[in-house]
Amino acid sequence: LEITGYNAKAVKILFDYVAGYGDMMENEDNFEILADMIRLCDFYGIQKPVPLISHKISTIKLSMTNLLSCKRACQVLQNLEKFTMLTKNLEDRCNTFARAN
Q: Global pTM? A: 0.92
Q: Long-range contacts: 22-26, Cβ < 8 Å, 24+?
A: 25/49, 25/52, 25/53, 25/56
User: Using one digit for the tens of pLDDT, what is the confidence trace for 51-64?
Assistant: 999 999 999 999 99
Percent above pLDDT 90 for the chain: 85
Rounded Cα–Cα distance for residues 32 and 74 (Å): 9
Average pLDDT over residues 6-35: 91
Q: How far are the Cα atoms of 27, 55, 66, 74, 90 from residue 49, in angstroms, in the given order? A: 14, 10, 23, 19, 18
